[in-house]
Each structure stands twice: as C-alpha cells, then as structure tokens.
A = this chain, B = another copy of it.
Amino acid sequence: MPKLHPDRLFPADPTTRAVARALYQSIAELPIISPHGHCDPSWFSNNQRFIDPAQLFVTPDHYVYRMLVSQGLTLDQLGVARADNTTAETDPRKIWRLFADNYHLFRATPSQMWLDYAFENIFGIDEPLNSSTADLYYSHIEHCLGQDAYRPRALFERQNIELLATTESALDTLEHHAAIQDSDWSGRVITTYRPDSVVDPDFEGFSDNLQAFGAITGQDTQNWQGYLAAHKARRVFFKNHGATASDHGHPSACTADLSPRQAEQLFTKICSGDFTADDAEIFRGQMLTEMAKMSLEDGLVLQIHPGSIRNHSSQIFQSHGRDKGFDIAQRTDFATALRPLLDAVGMEPDLTVIIFTLNESAYGRELAPMAGVYPALKLGPPWWFFDSPEGIRRFRESTTETCGFYNTVGFNDDTRAFCSISARHDVARRSDCAYLAHLVSTARLDVNDAHEVAYDLAYGLAKSAYRL
C-alpha cells in the first residue's frame, strides 16, 4: 500500500466506494477556498523562505506538539518558544528527531494524514517517517525549503488556493495585507476582524488594549458611543483590506440584547475595572449582538467560536504563554444562549451568523434545529479536533437530517500549519464524498443531486456564505 492510498477515507463496500470515488474525482481539482484560518500574512508579503523543517512542521502546530507532550516530552525539548520569547532547544535536527522517533503516536489521527499528505504531495517523500528515516526527511525538506518553489507564494499556488483568509486583532495595522495588495502577486489573502482583545474584559491587557483602540481610531473608547464608533471604523479598515467577516472566540455562546442605556451602563462598569464575572459574560454577549447589528450595516459575516477553555494549564500558561495546545472544550449550551441575539436579528435574511462548536452534543439537539429555521444562522463546519474524518462524519450525520446541506457553509481549515491546508481540504472533501456516497447507496440521495452537493460542500457554499 502506498503511503497515500488513492481511495483513502472512502467506504469499504465496493459499490459505495465507487460512488465516493466518482464524486471525489469531480471535485478534487477545485481550487481551495480557505475562509477562516491563522496563517501569518507576512509569509506572503515578504515571501521569505521557511526557516527549517522543525519550524515548518513541529513548533507552529499545536496538534503535533501537544501529542508529543502528552507522552512526556516537554515544550522546551520541542523548541516551542517560552513566554519570554526564549527557546530552550534551538537545534532543529534534534527537534525533528524527537518528532520522528515518536511518530507512531499519531497513528490514526488526522495529524498523521495531514502530515503524510504534505510529505508526499508537497515534498515528494513517500517513505514512512520514523527514527530511521528522520535524517533523510530532514535533509530533503531542508533542501527543498531553500528553493524558490518552496517559498510561501509558490506553495500557496501549488496548493491550489484561490483565497486565504487570515485573522487579525482589532489593533493590527494590517501592513502585510496592504503590502500583498500593493504587490504584483495575484494571490488573494484577506484579513478577518477579530476584536476579542478589545471586547473581552478578561483578556490580558484589556484596559491597555482599549487605550490603544482609541489611539488607532481617534475615538473616545472610554465612552460607549465612541467605543462602538471605533469598532465601526476598524471594520471599515478591515473591509478595505479584504475582510468579509469578523470572528469572535468567547468562552460561552452567551448573547445579550440590552437596552442602549443598560449597555452603556454596563460598558462604564467594565471600563472602571470593577466588574464581576457575570458582567464580563454579559458584556461579551452584548457585543455579539452589537456586531450582528453592525453586520447588517456593513455586510461582514459574523463568526462565533465559543466554548473553549483557553490555557487550561496555568503552569504552561506561565512558562510558555497562550495557545500552546492546552485549550480544552467545555459543555456549551446554545438554545438559550443565542436566543437574545436571534430574537434581535435572527430573522434578517441579509445577515449571516456562522456558529461553530466543540460540543458535538449540541449538533442535533440545538444547532441544526436553529440553523434549520432562522434565516440568519448557518452552521460552521466541524471545528478544531473535529476537523477529521470521524468528526466530519458525525457532523453530517447529526445535522443534515434537520438543517440540510444549505444551512452549512463548506469547510474551514482554521490552521496556522500552512502546508496542511491542501491536506485538510482533501480530507474534508473525501469525508464529505464518503458521506454522500453512503446516502446514495442507501437511496437517500439521488446520485446527480449528490454531485451538485459535493460541489457545493467543496467550493460553492464557502464562497457564498462568506460573500467571496
């Protein structure tokens, strides 16, 4: 068996597999729409070579290093930067060897499938990665990275990416996006408005961030109206750098719809620093509704990513800072939490709110029933750990019967692991085709309809939902 089997992820039953293969073949070459992710725009503005194999595949990929840490390796051994920006292990060959020595840990994980895809399709290596091939891999990848064909813009094109959205803080200058726009390169890299650092009172440095938010917009951000105006101004600025969406990562799906006066009073309390956890929660919830109302004006799609406990390990947060693989989901309720927002704007046909979840229990119980009736609400694809063959299967099986395909929005790769983008879309396309083939072979979906749906899931829905 070659490392990448041409029929991988297709159902084993021969008849169903043939249907899946035909569906996949009809959409496999479609360009990639990546409307939500975390690549660094400077890669494309500067187009500098990637530094080394470890910094390409290991240190930026929390899926990779979290698994290694779970078996006793340390972030320091793996060269993951500390909170003070120092790095303990600086020899990329050592890091790569640790990774290779432990590659069996990734058996049957999506990481293995993504990595193998990139190794084979981007770097042309079809031997398995293990201790004995570690050096061969390292040398070969290092050699490639020195070539122009492996610079960011070339890999963007090689991966057949039509559009890539990155995500920037509300305080970002967007200089790299401006540089890309001003360059002669035709790749389409757009930003996304992510205002958590000036919306979440519990964010590190929130008070300072508000100050900076005022400075960057010229608004009085200690004043409710000025604060809202600052958001509106930044949304315009982000739109001018390509943004078609905002994104909001909140601990819960709580929304609120306070009266203007209540909202103003709450904001004053938040600014004073003398607020409770409940105040912060309601303020975040109110801001989702405010953002939805701004979306009705400026057309930005509103994305909500709730339910992750960020930085679960205080020890790692102190030593290594945010986003080091220690984000754990918690139960998140939606039916009650989203009601204030949906009561305010849920029936607006011109608004698009895309909701994601890490709580699969809510797929069929709450999210599909809501997306299946509120015109403004759409379901984001399976998120984070569920961006996987089994995760995608459960998502489709739990939501399609209640909200159909057309209240979903295609795939998001949501990654900062650049070389995994084409791999992730390939897994999603194969997984969706496997699901569609299963529907066809059990006579729940006409095969011609299945071809239309396959196209929509791979390409059409992402373009239309994100207004691209």
Say yes or no: B343 contacts A315, CB within 8 Å. yes
Residues of B within 8 A of A312 (CB): 335, 339, 342, 370
Task: Check A390 against B397 for contact (C-beta < 8 Å).
Answer: yes
Q: Which residues of B contact A446 (CB under 8 A)?
A: 1, 128
CA–CA, A316 and B370, complex, Å? 14
Smallest CB separation, A131 vs chain B (Å): 14
Q: Is A365 an interface residue (CB 8 A)?
A: yes
Q: Mark A342-379, 1 if CB is under 8 A from B, else 0.
A: 11001101000000001111001110111111110100
Q: Is the CB of A404 within 8 A of B107?
A: yes
Q: Does A10 contact B (CB under 8 A)?
A: yes
Contacts A109-B400, A401-B108; A442 near B390 (Cβ below 8 A): no
Inter-subunit contact A365/B329 (CB<8 Å): yes
Asked if B404 and A9 sit within 8 Å, CB to CB, the answer is no
Chain A 317-342: CB-based contact to B (< 8 A → 1; otherwise 0) = 00000000111111101011001001
Contacts A365-B360, A374-B70 known; A439 to B404 CB distance under 8 Å? Answer: no
Copies in the complex: 3
State how many angstroms separate the Cβ of A33 from the closest Cβ of chain B.
21
Which single member of B375, B385, B402 contacts A71 (CB below 8 Å)? Answer: B375
| A113 beta carbon closer than 8 Å to chain B | yes
A416 at interface (Cβ–Cβ under 8 A)?
no
Question: Cβ of A467 < 8 Å from any Cβ of B?
Answer: no
Say if the beta carbon of A403 comes within 8 Å of chain B. yes
Which single member of B346, B361, B401 contacts A389 (CB below 8 Å)?
A: B401
Is A107 touching B453 in the complex (CB atoms < 8 A)?
yes
A272 within 8 A of B: no
Q: Let me know if A70 and B407 touch, CB within 8 A.
A: yes
Is A277 part of the contact surface with B, judged by Cβ < 8 Å?
no
Contacts of A445 in B (CB 8 A): 107-108
CB < 8 Å: which of B70, B328, B365, B442 contacts A335? B328
User: Is A371 a contact partner of B439 (Cβ separation < 8 A)?
Assistant: no
**Cα-based distance from A12 to B434 in the complex (angstroms):** 13
Closest to A330 in B: B335
Residue of B nearest to A400 (CB): B108
- What B residues does A407 contact at CB under 8 A? 70-71
Collect the chain B residues with CB atoms within 8 Å of residue A5's CB: 443
Chain B residues, CB < 8 A from A59: none
Q: Which of B315, B359, B365, B370 contacts A347 (CB 8 A)?
A: B315
Q: Which of chain B's residues have a CB closer than 8 A to the CB of A359?
A: 361, 365
- Measured CB to CB, the nearest residue on chain B to A317 is B343
Interface residues of A in 416-459 (CB under 8 A from B): 438-439, 441-447, 449, 452-453
Are the CB atoms of B335 and A329 closer together than 8 Å?
Answer: yes
Does any Cβ of B come within 8 Å of A386's Cβ? yes
Assembled-state Cα–Cα distance A377/B70 (Å):
8
The answer to whether the Cβ of A83 comes within 8 Å of any Cβ in the partner chain is no
Q: What class of interface size applies to chain A in its complex with B?
A: 35 or more
Contact A386 B372 (CB under 8 A): no
A449 to B104, Cβ gap below 8 A? yes
Question: Which residue of chain B has its CB nearest to the CB of A316?
Answer: B347
| A328 in contact with B8 given A107-B405, A398-B390 (CB within 8 Å) | no
Q: A9-B442, A372-B67, A442-B10 are in contact. Are A404 and B106 (CB under 8 A)?
A: yes
Instruction: Assess whether B374 is in contact with A365, with CB atoms less than 8 Å apart.
Output: no
- CB of A369 within 8 A of CB of B328, answer yes
- For residue A15, CB closer than 8 A to chain B, the reply is yes
Known A1-B446, A107-B453, A446-B128; contact A330-B439, beta-carbon cutoff 8 A? no
A12 to B441, CA, bound (A): 6
A404 touches B108 (CB 8 A): yes
Answer whether residue A309 sits at the interface, using C-beta atoms and an 8 A cutoff. Answer: yes
Complex Cα gap A128–B445 (Å):
12
Contacts of A343 in B (CB 8 A): 313-315
Contact B373 A69, beta carbon cutoff 8 Å:
yes
Query: With A128-B446, A373-B69, A444-B8 in contact, is A329–B366 under 8 Å at CB?
Result: yes
- 15 further interface pairs, Cβ-Cβ under 8 Å (given A4-B443, A309-B335, A330-B335): A8-B443, A9-B442, A12-B438, A66-B373, A69-B373, A70-B372, A70-B373, A70-B403, A108-B404, A309-B339, A361-B365, A368-B385, A385-B401, A385-B402, A389-B442
